[in-house]
Structure 1
């Protein structure tokens, strides 16, 4: 019979520990990058398949600076970052809303300007149509008067010619 020294499982335990650490850091990265995912131990447990008790005080190395921290502390940091992003998004949304409101006011002012311009031009067009109608009537009246005067002039010319012939 072979006696167990206890070191046979060290390599397997190290592999499991490294795999779990990778799964945990990947899950934390997913949670940090996805706005819709909650920053909680339950979410990390769901993503990794590990029990919450396994995660609660687990030490991990995170970031490019390789800082030693716990999963709970990292979740707290992610919550703060998400809260700051949410507030920043609200500010950006407020600025976007303000910009859109300014554009809307500008469009309203332009609409009012062009409506007034249309109304003024419509009134001016109506007045010009009336003036044109009056001038057309005047032209017709003057044509009739001219024709009347021509007829009278012709009649007088005929009378003059008739008188000239009688005088001869």
Structure 2
């Protein structure tokens, strides 16, 4: 029985050491979640074995509370930004918006010029086609007159 007790004691101490190391890793890295499942993954122990001990859950709660307080502090610090910084940010946003609308205006001017050129071409083409239609009508009229004269001669 003595051997079992010694072995159990060694395992208990070894597991405690692994738990402390894993707790330190979780406490120092905000990327690792403060959960029993994470402790289980880091130590290789089963979650139930960790849950049976009370101190890991208490320590995890402390880590969670520290992280929550830190997030709250960071949020409050963000709220208390210097007014000049806020104004500079607004000025930068206004500059970006000005550049955007300036570029949009240039694009619209280019489109307008292109549309004006297209309108000139269409107007010129319309004039040319009207002239061609007028010539064709005159030619048709002349040919109709000649046809009438020919019919009169034949009849």
Q: 1:32 to 1:12 in 2, by over 3 A?
A: same
Larger Rg: 1
SS at match of 1:28: helix
Unaligned ranges ≥5, structure 1? 1-5, 60-69, 112-168
* Alignment of 1:16 onto 2:4: no
Give 1:150's aligned residue: none
Q: By how many angstroms is 1:29 displaced? A: 1.5
1:89 maps to which of 65, 74, 82 = 74
Residue 32 of structure 1 is aligned with which of 24, 27, 31? 27
For the Cα contact (< 8 Å) 1:45–1:51, is it kept in 2?
Answer: yes
CA displacement, residues 125-161 of structure 1 (integer Å, 9 cap, x when unaligned): xxxxxxxxxxxxxxxxxxxxxxxxxxxxxxxxxxxxx
Contact kept in structure 2, 1:45 and 1:52, CA below 8 Å: yes
Deviation, structure 1 residue 103? 4.3
Query: Residue 9 of structure 1: CA displacement?
Result: 2.3
Worse overlay, 9-18 or 48-57: 9-18
- Give me the whole-angstrom Cα distance separating, in 1, the residues matched to 2:31 and 2:85: 26
Q: Number of aligned pairs?
A: 93
**Residues 11, 88 of structure 1: alpha-carbon distance in 2 compared, 3 angstrom cutoff:** same
Structure with greater strand share of residues: 1
RMSD: 2.5
Measured against aligned partners, the alpha-carbon deviations of 1:20-50 in whole angstroms (never above 9, x if no partner) come to 1011111111111211211111011011110
Structure 2 unmatched ranges of 5 or more: 96-155
1:80 is aligned to 65
Q: 1:97 to 1:31 in 2, by over 3 A?
A: farther
Residues 25, 98 of structure 1: alpha-carbon distance in 2 compared, 3 angstrom cutoff: farther
Considering fraction of residues, name the structure with more helix.
2
Confirm or deny: 8 A CA contact 1:55 1:71 kept in the other structure: yes
Change (3 A) 1:90 1:48: same
